[in-house]
Amino acid sequence: MTQPLDPGMFDACAQVTPLIRVGDKWTAKIIRCLETGPRRFSELRAPLRGITAKVLTETLRAMERDGLVTRTAYAEIPARVEYELSPLGRTLLKPLAAACEWAAAHMAEVTRARGVHEPL
C-alpha cells in the first residue's frame, strides 16, 4: 500500500506566481524564437501564428519581469525595440530541447491516448 500524500508537501514553496512559466502556451515558443539572438516584436509574430499582439506583449513583459528576456529600446525614428534571451533565459534552452525531443518521440502515443478520451 502506498503512503498517503503529505498535506504539507508544498509548504516550503513560495505561495506566489509559479517560478516556471514555460508550461504556458507561448513562453517556450518565444524562447526558441530568441535562441539565435535578438528579435523585434514583428519578427516574433511571424512564426507565432495565432498569437495576438496583446498576448505577445503580456508574455514578453512577464518573461522580462522573471528575468528570462531583456528588452532594449533604441532611440531611433521610428522606435526600435529588440528582445533577447538573458543568461537566465538561455539556461532553459537545454531543458526545452529535451522536452521537444520527448514530444517528438512520444507524439503518436499521446495522440492515441487523447483519442480514447472525450474532448474537454
Helix (H, G, I), strand (E, B) or coil at 64: helix
pTM, to two decimals: 0.78
* All cell numbers assigned to 55: 498576448
For residue 15, what are the CA distances in angstroms to 11, 18, 59, 64, 68? 8, 8, 21, 21, 21
User: How many other C-beta atoms are found inside a 10 Å radius of the C-beta of residue 33?
Assistant: 18
Q: How far apart are CA 62 and CA 26, in angstroms?
A: 11
pLDDT digits (tens, 9 = 90+) for 7-35: 777 777 655 555 556 667 899 889 989 99
Residue 89 has pLDDT above 80, yes or no: yes
| Closest C-alpha among 51, 55, 83 to residue 69 | 83
Cell 511571424 -> residue? 46
Q: What is the pLDDT of residue 3?
A: 79
For residue 22, what are the CA distances in angstroms to 2, 36, 75, 93? 31, 18, 31, 11
